[in-house]
Amino acid sequence: MEDLHPSNYSLSFSRPEESPTTENSNPLPRAVLRRSSHVLLDGQWRFAHDDADVGLQQDWAAGHIYAHTAQWPGSVEEHLAQARGQHGAAAWHDQVVVWYEREFALPAIEEPQPCSMVQLTFGACGYETRVWLNGHPLSTIEGEEVHFGEYTSFTYELDPEYLRPVNRLTVRIADNMDGETPRGKQESHVYKRGGIWYQTYTGAVRSVWLEVVERNRLRSRVGVVSVVEDQLVRFNVTLRIHDPGDYVIRLQVFDPKTPNRTSPLAASDFPVRLEAGQWQQRVVLEVPGAELWSPEAPHRYRLVAQLVDSEGYASTIETLFGLRKIEARGRHVYLNNQSTYLDGILYQPGQATYKEMQLHMHAMKALGCNLVRVHIAGIDPRIYNLADELGLLLWVEVPSPHSSTPRSRENHRAELLRLVTLSETHPSIIIWSLYNEDWGAQDIATNPETRQYIVDTYHFMQITYPQFLVVDNDGWHHVSHTGRLKSDLLTAHLYTPDLARWQELLDRLVGGQMEGTAAFPLVVGDAFFYRRQVPLIVSEWGGFGFPDYGGPQDAEARTSSIRAFKQELRRRPIAGDVYTQATNIEDERNGLIDAHTGALSVPTELLASRQMKFLE
């Protein structure tokens, strides 16, 4: 029998605790914590590449001789290179199919309960993942025999009928260069590697773990929407029920600095009658005297949520959350009803490790940024927690497909829902982009179906997730319907190394000239007339050091140009900007931060426009 390794975020009531979402305290790539110990299945797995894609037909899950081993987590590209005796990462140009397998001992359960079961979670894996337990195919909690997506976690409940004292876990992962799947800036058949397009990095990219959970429980996802004027918080919780009956949803809110949980700031019970299945429930709690979350004062509170059955047995999750409000009103972005200029930077984590991403976040804060635009990439959810803690606003984006078809739109929507469902806890996340520069929506100007999909998705996000601002297609073709922009922000990507040209472009932009200013007409669909009725954001600029964009090469000249260009932005009625970019990545050599050490190549506070004397 294998003992469960206790997590290092002990949930004992008897001693003071560290905050569970500090950057070093959560060992698992998830944001909402559960009161259970876990067994990490990371480490050496047996490995085989299935170049002829015969493993399913030959039933490798029933038994197969694996010639190689691979370290999980890791990438398919690394594992293929190791198996073939190559150095670096192996490129693949059409389809890749690989298999992994290992044994694990059935976890020992202290004080076993009849209402407990074993759960298996993949932090992220894909794009296409199938899993077998002792040769039996598994389905996710959502009922997927094949899980699609590579940026978010997914979970299996392990049927006791199939569990043994020692178990064999088999995983098949497949991916291809299909332009219809969400890829971000990974190469495809449409966009080849080079310039701004990067090598693929896919497969077993995050941890996998076992834990013991209750049959009837709250899942590890919590949506948070706050009404700051009334100190109300709407919590959206997800319930997994095997045994129909009467339950109580119990919420308690604590000051995270309080050494014990004897005196909640707010608490309430919500009795519910539940049938078997997965359900979502909205509940509202007043938190009197709550301080708001902001970059200057990132106040957070601890939520302890329980699902209590009729026998008094409770399933518990907990997370930190903040009260904040974001609005786009007139030409300003308002945070907590205060006009806030967004000093942003573009961040492409690429193949950065979790520790490296932590260094990057601290460095971007040191640059004076209050906003980080995480560019069409799914990241470790603990980075969202770190942004909450540091007071960094986040602009996140759906990793885009590379072609515009009905299937690509289906895949895009599915990826959006997977991402937003697991990230709506965080006060730091304020903006979502649906598309970027027409990638995956290349026919946006000519195809009414593409525009209608974007309009419908924008309206869906507005209604379902009111805690976020939504951008339809960042930087290029925005969509207008009956003269109304289907985006909360009007954004433009402007690149030039010449200061006089920069001034000219900014003047044209704030003057409402939608033609000939950015790379394309800035708005398509129905006629749109900009009169400062929405905030204007220059969401990419600079790129200094990248040959395609020109600009200064050395750090001193780059610093001088950034200051001069930033001053021109702040002299105009613009609501925010995003400098490109934080770190170097492959061919894009325009970073301000060392990708490995987090060291700055320019002065601290360089991007903090609040330091500019002419604004005082």
Q: For residue 564, what is the domain's CATH number?
A: 3.20.20.80
- Same domain? 445 vs 490: yes
pLDDT of residue 615: 52
- Same domain? 304 vs 427: no
pLDDT of residue 13: 22
- Same domain? 196 vs 316: no
Domain ends where: 182, 198, 213?
Answer: 213
* Across 43-47, 81-85, 358-362, 426-430, least confident range: 81-85
Total-model pTM? 0.94
Within-domain flag for 25: no
Other CB atoms within a 10 A radius of the CB of residue 451 amount to 24
- Same domain? 362 vs 472: yes
Domain ends where: 305, 321, 337?
Answer: 321
Q: Tokens for 461, please give them.
A: 């996000």
pLDDT of residue 93: 87
pLDDT of residue 549: 85
- Nearest of 307, 301, 305, 302 to residue 317 by alpha carbon: 305
pLDDT of residue 343: 98
What are the C-alpha distances in Å from 178 to residues 75, 99, 130, 145, 198?
18, 20, 19, 21, 15
Tokens 């929506």, residue located:
441
Cβ atoms of residues 47 and 79 within 8 Å: yes
- Same domain? 399 vs 283: no
The angle formed by the CA atoms of residues 155, 422 and 285, to the nearest 5 degrees, is: 115
pLDDT of residue 602 exceeding 90, the answer is yes
pLDDT of residue 551: 81
Within-domain flag for 24: no
Helices (H), 378-467: 382-390, 406-421, 448-464
- Same domain? 317 vs 349: no
Within-domain flag for 512: yes
Across the range 48-67, mean pLDDT stands at: 97
pLDDT of residue 531 exceeding 50, the answer is yes
- Same domain? 296 vs 332: no
Cβ atoms of residues 278 and 291 within 8 Å: no
- Same domain? 282 vs 376: no
Domains: count for the chain: 3
pLDDT tens column, 557-592: 999 999 999 999 999 999 999 999 999 999 999 999
Cα separation, 72 vs 154, in Å, equals 16
pLDDT of residue 259: 67
pLDDT tens column, 231-260: 999 999 999 999 999 999 999 999 987 766
Domain that holds residue 307: 217-321
pLDDT of residue 520 exceeding 90, the answer is no
- Same domain? 53 vs 202: yes
Average confidence score pLDDT of the chain: 92
- Same domain? 170 vs 263: no
pLDDT of residue 267 exceeding 50, the answer is yes
- Same domain? 521 vs 486: yes
Other CB atoms within a 10 A radius of the CB of residue 193 amount to 16
- Same domain? 412 vs 499: yes
Q: For residue 56, what is the domain's CATH number?
A: 2.60.120.260
